Amino acid sequence: MTHSSFSNENNREDSNQRLEFLGDAVLELVVSETLYSRYPDMAEGDLTKLRASIVCEPSLCEIARSIGLGEKLLLGHGEDMSGGRERGSILSDALEAVIGAVYLDGGLDSAKGFITAVFGDKLVSHAPNSFETDYKSRLQEIIQNKSKSTIVYRIVGEEGPAHDKTFTAEALNARDVLGRGTGRTKKDAEQQAALEALNRMGSA
């Protein structure tokens, strides 16, 4: 699996980015079809929210780690040294690229079989009301119950070109950093920082 950082360092034009684009679309289609069949009475808006709770960076990252995808990545030296093999955005993108490759190699049935296998319980354990979690709100509620203080978020890192940026955010309580996270938008990065804080507290 070839990350763009490796291609840039080695003057190569090949990377996973086009496969990521394709795999993202195939994944959304397969999950959409699964939910459409499982919940015939669910409204469109609720189906969209439920799909978002399954096809999200934390979910894809968890699956990528479970199949050892980080070990198979070709990364640029700087990206590798800075922990790129464990970075959520890189792992989730790589999984999408694998899905795209499976689709090109074996068609939609093969892609559906692969997605069903690696997602496992994630495709069947979501109740209709288990929509995408607002980790920031949950963290704020927990902290306010303990100390009445307010969580503040700050962006501490920004990488990549304008069309494909990755942001890093920290969740702070006073001067204490409770969690750090990355995402393709500042909002996503803040949510991931809140999720890490919740995990540290055993409240996720």
Sign of CA dihedral 121, 127, 128, 130: negative
d(CA 35, CA 51): 8
> How far is Cα 188 from Cα 169, in angstroms, rounded to an integer?
9
d(C-alpha 161, C-alpha 164), whole Å = 5
- The residue among 14, 22, 29, 13 whose CA lies nearest residue 115 is 29
Catalytic center residues: 24, 96
Side chain identity, residue 59 = S
Contacts 24+ apart (CB under 8 A), 128-135: 128/39, 128/42, 128/46, 128/50, 130/50, 130/53, 131/46, 131/49, 131/50, 131/52, 131/53, 132/49, 132/52, 132/53, 132/56, 133/53, 134/191, 135/191, 135/192, 135/194, 135/195, 135/198, 135/204
